A and B are shown apart, each in its own frame.
Chain A
């Protein structure tokens, strides 16, 4: 059943190559334009967790977590497309559990996220000379897959409960803005004001980015990163439970 859902997601994605193209290259554009620009501004590099490194190396993990978040957003928008097509409720009468429905939906998009990350990392290493820790490849892959799934499950209850596309759009813009800038995505947290640093440490996007940063360029304390990894997994599981619960009870009241 999960394969059927994945295949359907593939079919839908393949009908909009423009969408798929931007999904694949947008993070790369971010890295090349934003990352390179700031890299030149911080020519001497930046310090994070006591390690000096180039901004582009620092920012690579930020781009990867943005990419996961972006794909999760697009996948959650899929609920609105399904609703417009009238298919959403029909899917819920198909012979599958609510969990299978959600897992199938995100699995294909996790693969898309992985493909996108390979392109971004490839360009980061080849064009920008980022010194990637290849021995952490498994951790990078896990970070991308679990990150995409975690953010999708987080957004699902909102996509299901907010009935209007425009309201969901506004909600996403606000949430994304707050989560991005109150996190370690763009800058190290050490120099931030106390209140913002506290907010950032409580932000799952920080946990996700820190794990990817450790995996890509070995910045961060392994123990702290491990705690952040488990915290993100707990966040993903809680979000998944809440999404399934929403599908069970909240969809049609």
Chain B
């Protein structure tokens, strides 16, 4: 639950990478956003949009070229250490001690975050169980698969209790069961009042987890709000799937005359996308249903993916 106190405030943030061999790259170009304490915040955007640069700045890994950033009330430039005391981070790159066991990876991480000796083992046991790492707990990471390494990396942040957790593409490379365990763990962290800042390409994860979302492109914020506000930014689009007993030529003609933005047919099933308000779609359906026997019908509204594609200049088709 958000208490509306900002955990992160970013104002007019600019980051320019100066390359010797090429012209400067403006990774962030006047980006502004606000993340409220206690919420799960999703940062979405295509590759090269500036997500990782923003995450690196917020986690004190790199400095902005200009602009103002506050994390948990601390100015980023002057209070890097105070910020690091209150955050934990899962970076996009794999980051594990390859020559240590799963167990030692967790204990070492806890030691770095000043978890008292007597608590470390207990927490490690809990996290190992939570992430299904029991069978490999004593194995060195170098001997584990990429997915398991990622699982250990994510599991580490659940060893500590920090008010702000950064997760950069946390579920990348995980199988569906572990992805589910990770999402559950994130939800649990959120319930405990922690602020979760996640970047992801997997839009249904963002849809499932996030209280608020920002979409960035070319270093700027192009949309911001909760899921419904974000969805409202694009014209309403409904996907309709109808399975008929049979499809006559006249029905097919009728269907193709409708103002659809997408139409596909697979045997007796047709899939269509239509723009418009809800009632207009229902009207359309009743017209179609009069001329044939409908076995199955399904109507879905715009997904975050539709919004994403629409806002970033792509086409639904």
Contact = CB atoms under 8 A, between A and B. Distances in A.
Contacts of B91: 86, 89-90, 93
B108 A11 contact: yes
B89 A253 contact: no
Contact of A85 (B62, B87, B98, B114): B98
Contact of A93 (B60, B97, B98, B100): B60
A4 B61 CA distance: 20
Interface stretch (A54-62, A94-102, A118-126, A211-219): A94-102
Interface string B69-107: 000000000000100110111010111111110001000
Contact of B114 (A92, A95, A249): A95
B93 A86 contact: yes
Contacts of B94: 85-86
B62 A251 contact: yes
B89 A93 contact: yes
A12 interface: yes
Interface centre among B85, B93, B112 (most CB of A within 10 A): B112
A41 interface: no
B18 interface: yes
Contacts of A95: 81, 84-85, 112-114
A86 B104 CA distance: 17
Contact of A92 (B18, B60, B113): B60
B84 A93 contact: yes
B15 to A, nearest CB: 9
B104 A11 contact: yes
Contact of B112 (A12, A94, A248, A251): A94
A5 B114 CA distance: 11
B59 interface: yes
B114 A93 contact: no
B110 to A, nearest CB: 9
A245 B122 CA distance: 38
Provide the main secondary structure of the chain B interface.
Answer: loop
Contacts of B100: 11-12, 15
A87 interface: yes
Nearest to A88: B95
Interface string B98-139: 111000100010011110000000000000000000000000
Place the interface of chain A in its size category.
20 to 34
B63 interface: yes
Contacts of B61: 89, 92-93, 251-252
B56 interface: yes
A89 B89 CA distance: 10
A92 B20 CA distance: 25
A16 interface: yes
A96 B84 contact: yes
A85 B99 CA distance: 10
Contacts of A89: 56, 61, 91, 93, 95
Residue from A1, A7, A94 whose CB has the most chain B CB atoms within 10 Å: A94
A253 B62 contact: yes
Given A93-B59, A253-B62, A1 B97 contact: no
A85 B96 contact: yes
Contacts of A251: 61-62
Given A93-B61, A253-B17, A253-B18, A86 B114 contact: no
Contacts of A11: 97, 100, 104, 108
Given A89-B91, A93-B84, A95-B85, A4 B112 contact: yes
Contacts of B85: 95
A4 B111 contact: yes
Given A95-B113, A253-B17, A86 B96 contact: yes
Contact of A7 (B56, B96, B111, B114): B111
A248 B84 CA distance: 14
A252 B112 contact: no
Contacts of A86: 91, 93-96
A8 interface: yes
A12 B99 contact: yes
B93 A252 contact: no
B81 A97 contact: yes
Given A85-B95, A95-B81, A251-B62, A8 B108 contact: yes
Given A11-B100, A90-B95, A94-B113, 13 more contacts: A4-B112, A4-B114, A12-B97, A85-B97, A86-B95, A87-B97, A89-B56, A89-B95, A95-B114, A96-B81, A248-B63, A249-B63, A253-B17
25 contacts: A1-B114, A4-B114, A8-B111, A11-B108, A12-B99, A85-B94, A85-B96, A85-B97, A86-B94, A86-B96, A87-B96, A89-B95, A90-B95, A93-B60, A93-B88, A94-B84, A94-B112, A95-B113, A95-B114, A96-B81, A251-B62, A252-B56, A253-B17, A253-B18, A253-B62
Interface of B: 17-18, 56, 59-63, 81, 84-85, 87-89, 91, 93-100, 104, 108, 111-114
Going nearest first, the 10 A-B pairs with the smallest beta carbon separation are A86-B95, A252-B62, A15-B99, A86-B93, A90-B95, A95-B85, A93-B89, A4-B111, A86-B94, A93-B59
